[in-house]
């Protein structure tokens, strides 16, 4: 891997992992405004995610095919997405009552940085949201398991099918997440803030409406290559 790509990915991963803890320190140690810190987390996280996903397409190092670049981007995306399902979203499911009752606690700011302005439903027990998050966590478990099996057998069909299925679930749950809020007239989002409405609510979550199509395109190609290989062997 080219050193520039290694550096970019390291910075992107640092942004994804450190933005929330850094914001918590800024708010609770140095007294920074919590809404401004939450906006900063959103911008840094979104920028880090885009940076990470763009690196397979950089024209540095040895030439590679579009299929190889797509595969690399999809695998990076799956790792990030499933990690979020199994940390932030699972944590919210397990601790949502305590999170709602502890808006000023240091530990709960990992969720309140998004709740503040981004989506107040996470400060409630909204049954639709709980159901969607349960689906997302189950999706994360299935996807992470498929990734592990795929590491052992890169050309196995079943892990590819499972990853494609997780993409379909992402499309369904993300569409439902957006539609329920929009149809209700944005009662839970701060529409006076461009960062909260455009970036925190729409663009950041919207990645889960775009990347599933990349996963499906990659999976289709994988399945076609597997079928061709089987036909050649026959």
Tens-digit pLDDT profile for residues 82-124: 999 999 999 999 999 999 999 999 999 999 999 999 999 999 9
The residue extents of the domains of the chain are 66-233
- pTM for the structure as a whole: 0.94
CA distance 234 to 230: 6
From residue 227, how far is each of 113, 155, 233 by CA, in Å? 47, 10, 10
Residue 30 has pLDDT above 70, yes or no: yes
From the list 140, 170, 145, the residue with the least C-alpha distance to 158 is 145
Weakest mean pLDDT among 127-136, 149-158, 168-177: 149-158
- What's the CA gap between 172 and 166, in Å, rounded? 10
Using an 8 Å Cβ cutoff, are 2 and 60 in contact? yes
């Amino acid at each position: 891997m080219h050193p520039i790509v290694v550096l970019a990915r390291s910075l992107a991963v640092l942004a994804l992992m450190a933005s929330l803890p850094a914001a918590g320190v800024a708010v609770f140690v140095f007294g920074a405004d919590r809404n401004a810190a939450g906006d900063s987390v959103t911008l840094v996280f979104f920028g880090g995610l885009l940076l990470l996903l763009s690196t397979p397409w950089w024209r540095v190092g040895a030439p590679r095919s579009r299929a190889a670049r797509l595969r690399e981007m999809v695998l990076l995306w799956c790792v990030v997405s499933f990690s979020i399902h199994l940390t932030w979203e699972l944590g919210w499911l397990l601790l949502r009552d305590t999170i709602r009752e502890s808006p000023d606690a240091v530990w709960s700011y990992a969720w309140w940085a998004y709740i503040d302005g981004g989506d107040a439903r996470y400060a409630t027990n909204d049954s639709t949201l709980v159901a969607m998050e349960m689906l997302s966590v189950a999706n994360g478990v299935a996807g992470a398991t498929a990734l592990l099996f795929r590491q052992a057998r890169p050309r196995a069909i079943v892990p590819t099918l499972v990853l494609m299925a997780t993409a379909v679930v992402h499309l369904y749950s993300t569409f439902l997440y957006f539609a329920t809020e929009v149809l209700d007239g944005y009662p839970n989002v701060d529409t006076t803030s461009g960062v909260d409405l455009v970036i925190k609510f729409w663009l950041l979550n919207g990645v889960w409406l775009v990347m599933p199509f990349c996963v499906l395109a990659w999976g289709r190609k994988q399945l076609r290559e597997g079928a061709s290989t089987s036909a050649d062997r026959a």
